[in-house]
Every structure is written in C-alpha cells, then in structure tokens.
C-alpha cells in the first residue's frame, strides 16, 4: 500500500512539470537567483519575496511580492531554493546547490541562458507535432514554423540571440586540465563554437591558461570577407558543402601557425547525421598534421541499460529527444558511435574525458599513440 502511494505521488509530480519549468524560467528571466546570491541582509544570504521584489522593475511591489512568494515556494518544494522563516512567519529564500548553477560563475557561464533557449516559445511550439515525427517522420519544428531551424534563425534576430546566449555553456569546456592534451606541441587548440558573430574561433594556450587570441578579430581570408556569418550558417546549415568550406578550410590560414595540432568542436556534430559528421571529420583529418587530434565536446548516450545510470544519462536522452524535434538528422550518440565515426574518417585512436556539467570531451587521434 505504501509503495503504491509513493509511486502515485511520483506520477502526480509529473503532472506539474510544466508549471515548474515555467516558474524556473521566470526566476531566470527576472534574475531572482542572482538577486538572492548578492544579498547581505539580516538573514545573511536569505531574502523575502518583498525584498526580492524591491529589486525588480515594478511600482506595485505588494502585488509582485505576493505572486513571487507563491512561485518561490514552488521552487523551494523541489529543492531549487531553501527557506527559513522569521518570528512573524514570513518566508525567506536562499540558494541551494541546484540553483547556484543558474548564477554566472567566474567565467560568466551558467545554465540559465541554455534553459531559456530550451524553453523559448519558438521551440516549445514544435513539441505539439512530436506525434507526427513518430508516425510520419516529419520534422516538428518545420511543421510548426514552415521552415527549417536554420532558415528560422536567419529570419528571427531575437531567437538567434537567445540561441547564441544559450551557448555560453561552452565556457566550461575550455576550462579543462592542461594535461588532457599531453603530447600536443605548444598546447595550441582551436575551439570552434557558435556565438553572436558565427564562428568564434579562439586559440587557447593551456600552458598559460589564457586565451591568446581571437582568430575572427585578426581576420581570415577564407571567411570571404564576411565576419558576421550567422550561427545558423555555421552549425545547422542546410548546404553541408558550404558549412564544410566555412568550418574546415579556415584552419589552413590561421595566422598563429601553419596548422594547429588539435581542432575542437563544441556541440557541433550532434546537429548532423552520420554521413555529414564523417565528411566534417575527414576535412579535419586532412587539415591536421600526423600527430594532430580532434576534440569533440558533446553529451554522450550510455551504451548499457538506461535504468542503471538514470542521473548521468537523463540529460543526454533529453537532448536526443530535442534533436528529434528540431533537426532531421541530428542526434546524440554513444562513445562507440563516435569512435566509429572517427574510424570512418581515418582516425586511429579515441580517448574520452569527462568535463563539467555532464559534457564528455572525446579525443580522436590521427595516428595511434
């Protein structure tokens, strides 16, 4: 009887996932976690709803604080916030280890912008067509908006900005141990990621632990004199030939050295089917010297029973479902699948390293070490 009540309670919680997500979205939009994080009142790092409301752009703080208290209570019930009360029974809210991940860290990165992208109205509308994907093979995003996501990004500046800001999570990939790249001469790595001006190509020297230059700002002839290429053209371009020319040929003319020893792709390959991924990796293979390597940063699906690793794999499966809705060929992959892609492209070795936030760095070696 008790087990049945517990499972029923868990099932009931699923009914409230939507309101919880929208309440968290509100907290991120209004920077509520940042307001609490910067507090230094009599209750230390705790603030009441009325105190938080005083930091918001509203003249009706009384009504705002009442609504906030109800929203913050919901978040606290899911351990996103913690609470304490004073002698009058007024609630005060503080951060928990969960909510701190939505406050920018020392590098300016947090999960907040990525959450806002995941729950943007443009993407949320696509989920109404998930059944069509399963039964008919149609792409839900295309059905919701009448065009592919790459074309929509090009036409909607606001949505493109939300996408760009969401990729601030890539900051955590750059801050990995330097010995991860042992054997790479000079420790010079090119990180290719999508940002506000398309391909933001940075050279990171891990021995110095600092960014040593921005390739885009220094100029590249292979960018066809266009330094304002959109993210859509970089990451989800319909014309794969154009994407390959854009992403891969510039490595031959980077002003720092003739060839970089390691190319890095952050959240790129999961947007393409296997054939496109192999084509991209082959271009990388051709551009690299004999000792060269490619670093792929992605979320990875487990190869074993899903129920054995519920926490570790839940986000990866969530992202895989999102790719099912937004991209015709996009998908998350297992380590075995990434190794197979590398072999098909000519790479002879693979290593995997866990990074922060569940991201896995996969190193493909041009020659076996």
| Residue 226 CB contacts under 8 Å (≥ 6 apart), including other chains | none
Give catalytic residue positions.
270
User: What is the Cα–Cα distance from 360 to 300, expressed in whole angstroms?
Assistant: 7
User: What is the Cα–Cα distance from 310 to 73, expressed in whole angstroms?
Assistant: 27
Residue 238 CB neighbours (<10 A): 13
Q: In what order do the strands lie in the sheet with 198-205?
A: 210-214, 198-205, 188-195, 262-266, 293-298, 360-365, 349-354
Task: Give the single-character DSSP code of 41.
Answer: B
Residue 116 CB neighbours (<10 A): 17
The CA-atom distances, in angstroms, between 108 and each of 111, 188, 193, 267, 354 are: 10, 23, 16, 19, 21
Name 44's bridge partners.
Answer: 41
59 touches 99 (CB < 8 A): no
User: Phi/psi zone of residue 126: left (φ > 0), alpha (ψ -120 to 50 degrees), beta?
Assistant: alpha
User: What is the Cα–Cα distance from 333 to 150, expressed in whole angstroms?
Assistant: 22
The SS3 assignment for 300 reads strand
Residue 13 CB neighbours (<10 A): 12
The DSSP line for 145-157 is: HSS-HHHHHHH-H
| Residue 306 CB contacts under 8 Å (≥ 6 apart), including other chains | 313, 317
The SS3 assignment for 210 reads strand
């Amino acid at each position: 009887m008790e087990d049945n009540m517990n499972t029923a309670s868990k099932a009931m919680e699923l009914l409230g996932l939507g309101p919880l997500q929208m309440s968290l979205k509100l907290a991120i939009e209004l920077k509520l976690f940042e307001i609490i994080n910067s507090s230094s009142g009599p209750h230390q790092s705790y603030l009441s709803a009325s105190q938080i409301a005083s930091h918001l752009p509203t003249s009706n703080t009384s009504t705002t604080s009442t609504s906030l208290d109800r929203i913050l209570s919901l978040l606290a019930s899911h351990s996103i916030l913690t609470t304490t009360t004073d002698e009058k029974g007024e609630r005060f809210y503080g951060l928990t280890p969960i909510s701190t991940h939505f406050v920018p860290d020392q590098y300016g990165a947090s999960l907040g912008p990525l959450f806002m992208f995941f729950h943007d109205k443009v993407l949320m509308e696509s989920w109404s067509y998930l059944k069509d994907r399963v039964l008919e093979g149609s792409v839900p995003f295309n059905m919701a908006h009448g065009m592919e996501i790459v074309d929509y990004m090009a036409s909607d500046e606001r949505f493109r900005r939300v996408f760009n800001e969401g990729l601030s999570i890539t900051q955590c990939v750059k801050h990995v141990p330097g010995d991860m790249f042992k054997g790479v001469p000079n420790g010079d790595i090119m990180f290719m990621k999508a940002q506000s001006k398309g391909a933001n190509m940075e050279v990171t020297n891990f021995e110095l632990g600092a960014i040593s230059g921005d390739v885009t700002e220094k100029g590249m002839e292979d960018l066809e004199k266009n330094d304002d290429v959109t993210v859509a053209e970089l990451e989800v371009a319909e014309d794969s030939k154009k994407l390959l020319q854009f992403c891969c040929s510039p490595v031959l003319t980077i002003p720092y050295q003739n060839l970089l020893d390691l190319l890095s792709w952050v959240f790129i390959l999961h947007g393409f089917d296997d054939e496109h991924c192999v084509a991209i990796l082959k271009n990388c293979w051709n551009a690299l010297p004999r000792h060269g390597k490619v670093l792929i940063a992605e979320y990875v699906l487990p190869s074993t029973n899903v129920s054995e690793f519920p926490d570790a794999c839940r986000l990866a499966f969530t992202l895989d479902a999102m790719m099912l809705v937004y991209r015709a060929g996009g998908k998350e992959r297992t380590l075995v699948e990434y190794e197979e892609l590398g072999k098909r492209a000519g790479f002879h070795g693979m290593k995997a390293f866990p990074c922060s936030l569940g991201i896995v760095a996969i190193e493909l070696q041009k020659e076996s070490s």
